Amino acid sequence: MRNIKLEIEYDGAAYCGWQIQNYQPSIQKTIEAALRKILQEKVKLIASGRTDAGVHALFQVANFTTGSAIPAEKLQRALNAVLPDDIVITRAKEAGLDFHSRFSARSKAYQYLILNQRYPSAFLRNRAYFYPYPLSIQLMRQAARYLQGRHDFRSFCASHSGAKNTIKKIKKISVSTIRYPLYAKRYRLIAVEIEADGFLYNMARNIVGTLLEVGRKKIGSGSLKKILLTKDRSSAGPTAPANGLYLIRVNY
Amino acid sequence: MRNIKLEIEYDGAAYCGWQIQNYQPSIQKTIEAALRKILQEKVKLIASGRTDAGVHALFQVANFTTGSAIPAEKLQRALNAVLPDDIVITRAKEAGLDFHSRFSARSKAYQYLILNQRYPSAFLRNRAYFYPYPLSIQLMRQAARYLQGRHDFRSFCASHSGAKNTIKKIKKISVSTIRYPLYAKRYRLIAVEIEADGFLYNMARNIVGTLLEVGRKKIGSGSLKKILLTKDRSSAGPTAPANGLYLIRVNY
C-alpha cells in the first residue's frame, strides 16, 4: 500500500465545495473520479479540511492510499490531463503511511481578498469581494490584533455548526494592501491573511465580515475584545462572501 | 449631441470578439444593448480597434454620440449594473465632438502573458498561454530588439488579412518576468509588451509566437531581421493563442 499526497489548486466558483454532495459537482468528487479513471481503482481522498461552495484553494492538501505502483509524477501529469481546467494538481508525492492530510496538519492559512474601489473588475469577479465603500486599513489592523492568540472563537463560528470545542489559536493575522501586478495601478485590493491551528465553520469569513464593519467605522476596533467575550455569534459582523476566500497554506 | 467616451475592461473568454457577428455574443453587441436599455435610444459604439475572440482588454476605449443628457458618471453606474460581470466600464466621460476612438488614437499597447512552468494554473486558465517548455528570456529579448522601430510587418500579418499598408512603427517592445503577487512564488509568468502606432491582423500574436520559437531555440534570435525582410507570413513562427493577449493601453 502506498500513501500519495497531492497539492491542489482550484477555482471554487463552479463547485459546491470540497465535500461530496449528491448531484452537485464537488472538488473531492471530481478528483476521485479522475483518480478512479487513471488507477482503475476506487480511492477515498482525505483533505486537510473542507472548503465551502465558492471558496478557492491555492494550496489544498489531500492524500489517498492505493495499491497502484504508478510513479507520483506520472500520476500528476495524468490527473492534470483528465481534470477540468479549474482544478490543478501542483504536486504529487509519496508520503509515509502515517501521513494524514487533516490530522497531521499543524496549522492552516487563509487569505481573503477585498476589491476596494469604486468599480468592479472583469478579471476578479468570483475571486475577490467587491466592496466599494471607503475602509480604514489602520482600524482594521488594530481590531485584528485583538484576535491574535488563543481565544474562544464561538462568536465567529456559524451558530448552527454544533462545534463543541471553539477554542483556537490564531498564530498570525494581517491586513495589507496589495497591488495586482498584471494590471498595475488599476486595482486596489486588501488582503486579510489568517493562520490558525484550526478554523471553526465560517470563522475566517466571519472575522473578515467583522473587520469590514470596523474598517467602515460601524463598530469600534476595540469592540473585538468584547465580541470575543460574549461568545455569541450575533455580536460579530456578517459573514463575508465565499468568493473572496482562498486556502493558501497547510503546515505539517 | 454629446460624444461619450468609455474606458472598458473585459474578460474576452466568453465572446466572439469586439465586433458584432450575428448569433454570437460580442463585446460591442453586449454594451450597445445595455446602452439602448438605459438610453432608450439606439447607439453605435466605435472602439479603438477590434479585439479577436478570446482576447482581453484591461483598457479598451470606445465612444458613441447621444442626444441623452444623462451625466457620464451616472451612465457608468447604470451600465455596470446592467452589463454582465465580465465587462466593466471603468470610466465614462464626455469628450469633444471631434474625438474618435479609432482615428484619434496615436498608439496602442498589448500585453501577452505566458505561463511558463511545468503545470497549469486554475486561476490563469483562459488568461495566459500555458507553455511548459524551458525558455531563454535573454534570447527573446535579443530577438525583440530587431522588431523595434518602423518596419514592414507583412511577415507578421495574417496572410488572409488583405492589408495594403503593412508598415507600422513599434515604439516599445519588452519581455519581462512577472511575479503574480496574490500567489507569490507560485507562478512563473512572462509578459511580452508591445506598443505600436497600429497593429496588423494577428500581428501581436504572431510576434509572440515567433519569440517563443526563439526562446525555445528553434530559431535564432538574429533571424528576426531576415523574417522581416522576407515579407512572407510563412517565415515567421505560429500564431500564439488569443487567451494570453490583453489590450492594455490606448494613447491619444
ipTM of predicted assembly, 2 dp: 0.90
pLDDT tens digits, one per residue of A150-183 = 999 999 998 887 788 999 999 999 999 886 655 5
Interchain pair B181, A186: CB under 8 A: no
Calculate how close chain B gets to A235, using CA atoms only, in Å: 31
Interchain pair A80, B180: CB under 8 A: no
Residue A51 φ/ψ, nearest 5 degrees: -115, 150
Interchain pair B122, A86: CB under 8 A: yes
Q: Angle B198-B201-B205 (CA atoms, 0-180°, nearest 5)?
A: 95
Distance, in Å, from the CA atom of A91 to the CA atom of B41, rounded to the nearest integer, reads 55
Q: Confidence band (pLDDT; 50, 70, 90) for B182?
A: low
Query: Which residues from chain A sit within 8 angstroms of residue B121, using beta carbons?
Result: 9, 88
| Residue of B6, B119, B174 to mutate, testing the A interface (most A Cβ within 10 Å of its Cβ) | B119
Nearest to A20 by CA among A36, A11, A31, A10: A31
* Average pLDDT for A25-54: 96
Calculate how close chain A gets to B182, using CA atoms only, in Å: 7
Whether the CB of B52 is below 8 Å from some CB of chain A: the reply is: no
Interchain pair B80, A127: CB under 8 A: no
Give me the pLDDT at residue A21, please: 77
Interchain pair A186, B58: CB under 8 A: yes
| Average pLDDT along chain A | 94
Query: Which residues from chain A sit within 8 angstroms of residue B56, using beta carbons?
Result: 122-123
Q: Confidence band (pLDDT; 50, 70, 90) for A232?
A: very high
Asked whether the whole model's pTM tops 0.80, one would answer yes
pLDDT tens digits, one per residue of B154-177 = 999 988 877 889 999 999 999 998
Distance, in Å, from the CA atom of A199 to the CA atom of A109, rounded to the nearest integer, reads 9
Give me the pLDDT at residue A237, please: 92
Give me the pLDDT at residue B183, please: 55
Give me the pLDDT at residue B164, please: 85
Active site residue A11: no
Whether the CB of B182 is below 8 Å from some CB of chain A: the reply is: yes
Interchain pair A9, B122: CB under 8 A: yes
Q: Confidence band (pLDDT; 50, 70, 90) for B24?
A: confident
pLDDT tens digits, one per residue of B112-160 = 999 999 999 999 999 999 999 999 999 999 999 999 999 999 999 988 8
Q: Are strands B87-95 and A107-115 parallel, antiparallel or unpaired?
A: unpaired
Give me the pLDDT at residue A162, please: 78
Whether the CB of A182 is below 8 Å from some CB of chain B: the reply is: yes
Distance, in Å, from the CA atom of B37 to the CA atom of B92, rounded to the nearest integer, reads 17
Whether the CB of B7 is below 8 Å from some CB of chain A: the reply is: no
Interchain pair B181, A178: CB under 8 A: yes
Give me the pLDDT at residue B161, please: 79
Q: According to DSSP H, which parts of chain A are helical?
A: 27-39, 72-82, 137-145, 203-215, 223-230
Percentage of residues in chain A with pLDDT exceeding 90?
A: 89
- Residue carrying the nine cell digits 491619444: B252
Query: Which residues from chain A sit within 8 angstroms of residue B113, using beta carbons?
Result: 182
Calculate how close chain B gets to A117, using CA atoms only, in Å: 10
pLDDT tens digits, one per residue of A92-145 = 999 999 999 999 999 999 999 999 999 999 999 999 999 999 999 999 999 999
In chain B, what is the greatest distance between 2 CA atoms, to the nearest angstrom?
58
Give me the pLDDT at residue B187, please: 82
Residue from the list A85, A122, A181 with its beta carbon closest to the beta carbon of B122: A85
Q: Which domains does chain A have, with CATH numbers?
A: 2-95 (3.30.70.580), 107-251 (3.30.70.660)
Q: Is the pLDDT of residue B111 over 60?
A: yes
Residue from the list B87, B90, B122 with its beta carbon closest to the beta carbon of A88: B122
